[in-house]
Amino acid sequence: MNRSEILVSLDIGTSKVKVIIGEVSNDTMNVIGVGVAESKGMKKGAIVDIDQTVHSIQNAVDQAERMVDMEISRVIVSINGSHIQLQNCHGVVAVSSETREISDEDIQRVIEASQVMSIPPEREIVDVIPQQFIVDGQDEITDPRGMIGVRLEMQGTLITCGRTNLHNILKCVERAGLEVQDICLQPLASGEVALSPDEKNLGVGLVNVGAGSTTVSVYSDGNLVETSVIPLGGDNITKDLSIGMKTTTEDAEIIKQDYGHAYLKDAIEENTFSVTTIGSNDQQIFNQVQITEIIEARLAEIFHFVLQEFRRMGYRDLPGGYVLTGGVMSLPGVIDLAKDIFQTNVRSSVPTHIGVREPHFTVGLGTLQFAYRNAKIQGKDYVSGIQTDEPQKVKPMKDKNVSKAKKDTDKSKPNDKENLVKRLQNYFFD
């Protein structure tokens, strides 16, 4: 196994922290390890308790490490939130080599040139995503390396985020004993897995319904053009069920996963279950139709907010329709409800890789794929996400030295004994 091609993604969600270890061979990503831990210290996609978040990250990392028997040292972190902003950027440089052949250095220079713009002090540049390169007026070039030219331009998207939000996430990751290798925007990550190139070119709406928030993104002409976050998600459904059934949120979450349905027409009345009432040991009997009424009402509200957000962005009609992903998509009947509300073509997206065939792994898997592809375009060098085995090579040497030292002391023991006997003989019989 070539360890230099192993990357690790970290997705800190409101309900779960997900760690995915991916091995890249021949530009193909294979998942070799997964760690999932309950997320504590996050609310509506933002950190509210650093210590608890650090503990959750460590739990997920430990689980992934045990699966592959390797030590994780570096991670690619996915970020999201209402503080994210996208803006167009443009850079121009002269090709530096005498042969006029475009190299990695020229690409890095043109990307740096595109970042020269005034940004408010409370914001920080996260990344630049190249949309196209232009060599001496020839546009729509995806990778200009090796081409001959005099003038190199790049048109791309500059991603900025709130400085405090970013530093809080990075602080949690570093306190968990990990190094941040790169940062990836969640809508770009989920778009890498959930959307086809044709959908991105046509114009498509990507809706990621998570536990604490719903991320709404628009792709057009192959690029992410707009993204926004609605502070509603699966936790609101769980809270509604908890109030409706007068039970704890833990029990409501289990019932939602085991018996929940999002489309009232398909709910089965005979599907019954008992629930412990909060504050007593009394059991109440409910059926699937009763809880589906609650789930459908809240989910329909979330979808109406999503539609409003697309209209606010100026996208009333998207030729590629809408693609839904995220943890809430595991509820049956969600797509039927979405079709009723969106009144257009709607589909759900679930990763197809072995070990991560759940909608809540979309961001984690997409982070690996997008970061690897983007690093190739930008000419970034990624170090392995796991600990190299150099210290492990030293260990046996240490052990040999220790055992050798032990043997030496064992050998010296009889000599010490002989010396002591001689000294005693001399003392008594002199």
Least confident interval from 5-19, 264-278, 372-386, 389-403: 389-403
Give the model confidence (pLDDT) of 176-198 as tens digits.
999 999 999 999 999 999 999 99
- Interstrand relation of 322-325 and 346-348 (parallel, antiparallel or unpaired): parallel
| Per-residue three-class SS string for 294-337 | HHHHHHHHHHHHHHHHHHHHCCCCCCCCEEEECHHHHCCCHHHH
Q: Give me 426's structure tokens.
A: 């001399």
Angle at the Cα of 121 from the Cα atoms of 118 and 126, rounded to 5 degrees: 75
Give the model confidence (pLDDT) of 230-285 as tens digits.
999 999 999 999 999 999 999 999 999 999 999 999 999 999 999 999 988 889 99
Could you give the domains of the chain? 85-163 (3.30.1490.110), 196-348 (3.30.420.40)
Distance in angstroms (rounded) separating the CA atoms of residues 51 and 42: 11
Q: 40 with 53: CB under 8 angstroms?
A: yes
